Structure 1
Amino acid sequence: MSGVIGTIFAFLFGGWTQVLTVFLIVIIIDYITGVLAAIKTKSGLNSKIGFWGLTRKALMFLVILIAHQMDLLLGNGIEAVKSGVIYFYMANELISITENYGQLGLPLPDQITRLIAVLKNKDSNKKL
């Protein structure tokens, strides 16, 4: 059974790499800190919010799968698209973890707090 699962991962993601392991750890930490922040701020746990949060995280892996397939189409032997997508999502998850830490009352350096404020402001100024 594990051979079948390994084959599926190798086909879909080009194998399970260290960057995917780190990304998975970051996703889990973000989810846990998000739940803890919701409890601490007494905003309550909401199954609908939790469902959509997990759905977004699953969709990130779907985009990584597509990025790997694009790398295969480019045929240059490097996984530039996949790596770029993973690092982009990982940066967003790390920002979310940092925000959750702030809501939990953990100390954050002023530079990180200002950087998050700048990034959130740039994101809210985007028009679709």
Structure 2
Amino acid sequence: MKEIKIIFISFWGMLSSALGILFVPTVLLIFCNILDYITGLMATPKRNEKINSYKSIKGIIRKVTMWLLIAVGVIIDQVIIYSASTLGISFTFLISSLVAVWLVCNELISILENIVDIGIPLPGFLEKVIYYIKGQVENKPQIDSQKKKE
């Protein structure tokens, strides 16, 4: 039992050290992925649908694709970190953290939809809070691809 604790703590310590600021949104996304999958399975009969392997595989592929989006964010962050370090500027996992938080919000929205489909009422503010957070994340990086014409 002691060895299992050591392995568990070592794994989470290494993951936390490697991911830094990205650790919390990553763990939250893992948790939300699992909850969304479980609540989706629970809501399937209430939606008059059948659970089948094709839909399950499709859902798992969707979750894996979310991780690819975070990987793209990490790559962008690494390019920025490299460029910033040549200028003497400190930078951390900003883009990938924003992607992870945005994905967590999407998963939370999906979980709430599943819960409603199961037949459980939601507090009115809950969905509004999640959409607000998602909107804040979407609107924070104000990057213009073209100059505005005057």
| TM-score exceeds 0.5 | yes
Measured against aligned partners, the alpha-carbon deviations of 1:15-63 in whole angstroms (never above 9, x if no partner) come to 9712211110011000000000002333111221111111011011011
The CA RMSD over aligned residues, in Å, is 3.2
Tell me the distance in 1 between the aligned counterparts of 2:42 and 2:117.
Answer: 9
For 1:43, which of 41, 49, 53 is the aligned residue?
A: 49
| Count of residues paired in the alignment | 112
Change in Cα spacing, 1:65 to 1:13, as seen in structure 2 (3 Å) is farther
Q: Which runs of 5+ in 1 are unaligned?
A: 117-128
Q: Distance in 2 between matches of 1:81 and 1:111?
A: 28
Q: Tell whether the 8 Å contact from 1:26 to 1:93 is kept in structure 2 after alignment.
A: yes
Is the 1:13–1:64 contact (alpha carbons within 8 Å) kept by the matching residues of 2?
no
Matched-pair identity in %? 30
> Using the alignment, how far apart are the partners of 2:44 and 2:98 within structure 1?
30
State the 1:77 CA deviation.
2.2
2:38 maps to which residue? 32
Deviation of the 1:65 alpha carbon: 1.1
In structure 2, the CA distance between the partners of 1:91 and 1:16, relative to structure 1 (3 Å rule), is closer
- Of residues 70, 74, 87, the one that matches 2:80 is 74
Taking the aligned partners of 1:25 and 1:72, their CA distance within structure 2 comes to 26
Q: Choose 1 or 2 for highest CA Rg.
A: 2
